[in-house]
């Protein structure tokens, strides 16, 4: 029996990862992500799921980032009651990320209603914190590097299939997903991490794949070849000398922890002055606690964890965050979100942007249409909560902090596969990046490579 795969997301963009797979009578969703970025993409989050969700037998997650997991509460609202399979690390992170995502959506809807800047009256969240907590009950944490069986909940179907998780770096718990129907093996890369990352181990090599779905976030570029810590040190020292503050919009999971690691190293080696370091994101604080708890799965030692705690001031409440905005002393503030599209960081940006003494430091990829991309590309002003703010602060983007492998690292990872695929589908990238990745994989491995269109169905 053939497998059929439909690309419901992460086609022509880096967000909204969703792949619908029909395999031996089963209907499985691999990843269940939210669309982020421009309004045209975000509006897709409000569309009904293309099939009756009760027909889904299972959801399998590659990792916990919201563009891969954040649609789960909305799926549950539409009637999905089945299992959500994930690695143990992913399951733990989703307990943090999903309720926070629901809370932020409620908070933003309330803010929009209070200040009357939404075009919809009243503004409503896609789902609530309570919805997110409810879907967490459907999670089934699974061990890595061994196959697990999925059987249909329909009694007449006894075939089923197997799946397995193998680590790919990137963030805690991130894995490639292997689906085996007894005849062919289909592998979803998820987001592939970096080699020689200070915190994450290298992606595990894959033994066998007949068909692969591979990400292409950096399919058209290499990461900056620079000393990341020195780049951070230079920005921090120059900003402090001006009497300014360094604001770093950061993804709460993975990026925030990597930044804290680099900053604690700089402080330990006296390469930057001793100034306050604030982590202002409840989700990032919880994720940092989880990274410390799971440090044996990472490269973090107990001493690293203790030193990060010693240099970091954790901003937990909204009141503390507001008081932080009132400070005029040099400091480093790490706050979510990473593309400056929401969360506490945009409240800080209102204070940071108009002052030339300050620095705004982006720490990696900025998706098309996001506020982060516009500012990195040189926008002289930006609109926040209906108000326009001048961009006078010094703007930096340290691409080497990205948690995504670039095209060379992905080609290297693919080259380690012992039994290589005959077919590769390139997803999770902007159009140019995906097509560049297609060409590079074709040249390297002489196999069939395609960039699928949104909602396209292929037979495997």
* Tally of CB atoms within 10 A around 251: 27
Q: Is 67 exposed, middle or buried (0-12, 13-18, 19+ CB in 10 A)?
A: buried
* For range 86-113, the mean pLDDT: 90
CATH, residue 437: 3.60.15.10
Reported as half-sphere exposure (CB side, CA atoms, 13 A), residue 430 has a value of 13
Q: What is the CATH number of the domain that holds 373?
A: 3.40.50.10890
- pLDDT computed for residue 117 by the predictor: 66
Number of domains, the chain: 2
Whether 395 and 407 share a structural domain: no
SS3 content of the chain, % helix, strand, coil (to 5): 35, 20, 45
Instruction: Indicate if 408 and 386 belong to the same structural domain.
Output: no
pLDDT for 156:
59
Q: 317-340 in b/e burial notation, b at 16+ Cβ within 10 A?
A: eeeebeebeeeeebbbbbbbbbbb
Question: Which pLDDT does position 330 carry in this prediction?
Answer: 96
Residue 143 has pLDDT above 70, yes or no: yes
Q: How far apart are CA 349 and CA 76, in angstroms?
A: 35
What pLDDT, in 10s, does the model give residues 246-272? 999 998 999 999 999 999 999 999 999
Neighbours of 174 (CB within 10 A): 29
**Among 379, 376, 357, CA closest to 249:** 376
51 has pLDDT over 70:
yes
Q: Does the pLDDT value for residue 120 go beyond 80?
A: no
Q: What is the pTM of this model?
A: 0.91
Give the separation between CA 431 and CA 408, rounded to whole angstroms.
18
Strand partners, 457: 6
Domain end (from 351, 368, 401): 401
Q: Domain boundary residue among 352, 382, 401?
A: 401
Closest by CA position to 90, among listed 171, 169, 163, 173: 173
- Per-residue pLDDT band at 298 (split at 50, 70, 90): very high
Q: Return the percentage of the chain with pLDDT > 90, whole number.
A: 82
What is the pLDDT at residue 119? 64
Please report the pLDDT score of residue 358 as a whole number.
97
Instruction: Tell me the residue range of the domain where 260 lies.
Output: 228-401
Distance CA 366, CA 368 (A): 7
Q: How far is CA 337 from the centre of its chain?
A: 11
pLDDT of res. 364: 80
The residues pairing with 390 across neighbouring beta strands, listed in sequence order, are 381
Burial of 9 (0-12, 13-18, 19+ CB in 10 A): buried
Among 289, 292, 312, CA closest to 304: 292
- Are residue 119 and residue 86 in the same domain, yes or no? yes
**Would you state the pLDDT for residue 157?**
58
Angle between helices 407-415 and 431-445 (to 10 degrees): 40
Whether residue 174 has pLDDT greater than 70: yes
- As beta bridge partners, residue 7 has 19
Output the CA–CA distances (angstroms, integers) from residue 168 to 62, 114, 201, 279, in the order listed: 9, 43, 8, 27
Asked if the bond preceding 187 is cis, omega within 30° of 0, the reply is no
> With contact defined as beta carbons under 8 Å apart, do 168 and 41 qualify?
no
The predicted pLDDT at position 159 comes to 72
Cα angle 53-90-316, degrees, rounded to a multiple of 5? 110
Same domain, yes or no: 156 and 200: yes
pLDDT bin (cut points 50, 70, 90) of residue 369 is: confident
Q: Is 38 a residue whose pLDDT tops 70?
A: yes
Do residues 236 and 93 both lie within one domain? no
Percent of the chain surpassing pLDDT 70: 98
Domain co-membership, 59 together with 178: yes
pLDDT, tens only, 318-366: 899 999 988 888 999 999 888 888 889 999 999 999 999 999 999 987 8
Residues 392 and 435 in one domain: no
pLDDT for the residue numbered 225: 85
pLDDT value, residue 317: 92
pLDDT score for 166? 98
Q: According to the model, what pLDDT value does residue 151 have? A: 79
Sequence-ordered list of residues with C-beta below 8 angstroms from that of 269, at least 6 positions apart, any chain: none
Same domain, 247 and 116: no
d(CA 23, CA 210): 15
347 and 441 housed in the same domain: no
pLDDT tens track for 198-253: 999 999 999 999 999 999 999 999 998 889 999 999 999 999 999 999 999 998 99
Average of per-residue pLDDT values in the chain = 93
Q: What is the pLDDT of residue 118?
A: 63
Integer CA distances (angstroms), 287 to 165, 197, 236, 421, 435, in order:
21, 18, 24, 35, 34
- Same-domain pairing of 351 and 255: yes
* pLDDT, position 33: 98
18: three-class secondary structure by DSSP: strand
The answer, yes or no, to whether residue 153 has pLDDT greater than 80, is: no
pLDDT of residue 385: 86
The answer, yes or no, to whether residue 116 has pLDDT greater than 80, is no
60 and 203 share one domain: yes
DSSP one-letter code for 419: B
Closest C-alpha among 163, 162, 212, 170 to residue 419: 212
pLDDT tens per residue across span 413-459: 999 999 999 999 999 999 999 999 999 999 999 999 999 999 999 99
For 315-393, list the strands marked E by DSSP: 332-335, 359-362, 381-384, 387-390
Radius of gyration over every alpha carbon of the chain, rounded to an integer in angstroms: 22
Q: Could you tell me the end-to-end alpha-carbon distance of the chain, in angstroms, rounded to an integer?
A: 10
Among 369, 385, 401, the domain-final residue is 401
Crossing angle between the packed helical segments 282-293 and 302-311, to the nearest 10 degrees: 160
Residue 320 in tokens: 């503390």
Query: Do 133 and 52 sit in the same domain of this protein?
Result: yes
């Amino acid at each position: 029996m053939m497998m059929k795969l439909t690309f419901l997301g992460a086609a022509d963009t880096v967000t909204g990862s969703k792949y619908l797979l029909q395999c031996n009578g089963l209907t499985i969703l691999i990843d269940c992500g939210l669309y982020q970025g421009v309004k045209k993409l975000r509006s897709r989050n409000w569309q009904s799921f293309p099939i009756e969700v009760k027909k889904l037998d299972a959801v399998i997650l590659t990792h916990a980032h919201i563009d891969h997991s954040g649609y789960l509460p909305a799926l549950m609202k539409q009637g999905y009651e089945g299992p959500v399979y994930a690695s143990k690390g992913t399951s733990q992170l989703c307990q943090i990320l999903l309720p926070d995502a629901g809370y932020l959506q409620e908070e933003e809807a309330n803010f929009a209603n209070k200040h009357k800047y939404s075009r919809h009256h009243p503004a409503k969240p896609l789902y609530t914190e309570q919805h997110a907590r409810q879907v967490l009950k459907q999670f089934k944490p699974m061990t890595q590097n061994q196959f697990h069986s999925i059987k249909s909940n329909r009694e007449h179907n006894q075939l089923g299939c197997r799946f397995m998780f193998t680590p790919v770096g990137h963030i805690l718990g991130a894995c490639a997903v292997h689906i085996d129907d007894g005849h062919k093996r289909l592998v979803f890369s998820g987001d592939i991490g970096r080699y020689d990352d200070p915190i994450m181990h290298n992606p595990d090599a894959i033994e066998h794949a007949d068909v692969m779905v591979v990400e292409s976030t950096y399919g058209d570029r290499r990461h900056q070849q620079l000393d990341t810590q020195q780049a951070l040190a230079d920005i921090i020292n120059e900003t402090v000398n001006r009497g300014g503050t360094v604001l770093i919009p950061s993804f709460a999971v993975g990026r925030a922890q990597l930044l804290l690691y680099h900053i604690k190293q700089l402080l330990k080696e006296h390469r930057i002055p001793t100034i306050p370091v604030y982590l202002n994101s409840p989700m990032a604080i919880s994720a940092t606690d989880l990274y410390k708890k799971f440090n044996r799965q990472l490269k973090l030692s107990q001493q690293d964890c203790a030193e990060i705690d010693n240099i970091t001031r954790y901003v937990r409440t909204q009141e503390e965050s507001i008081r932080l905005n009132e400070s005029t002393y040099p400091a480093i503030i790490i706050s979510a979100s990473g593309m400056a599209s929401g969360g506490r960081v945009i409240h800080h940006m209102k204070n940071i942007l108009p002052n030339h003494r300050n620095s705004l430091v982006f720490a990696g990829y900025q998706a098309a249409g996001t506020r982060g991309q516009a500012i990195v590309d040189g926008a002289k002003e930006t609109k926040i909560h209906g108000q326009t703010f001048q961009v006078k602060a010094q703007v930096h983007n340290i691409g080497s902090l990205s948690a995504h492998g670039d095209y060379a690292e992905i080609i290297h990872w693919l080259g380690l596969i012992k039994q290589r695929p005959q077919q590769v589908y390139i997803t999770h990238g902007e159009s140019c990046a995906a097509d560049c990745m297609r060409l590079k994989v074709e040249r390297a491995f002489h196999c069939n490579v395609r960039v699928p269109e949104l909602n396209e169905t292929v037979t495997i």
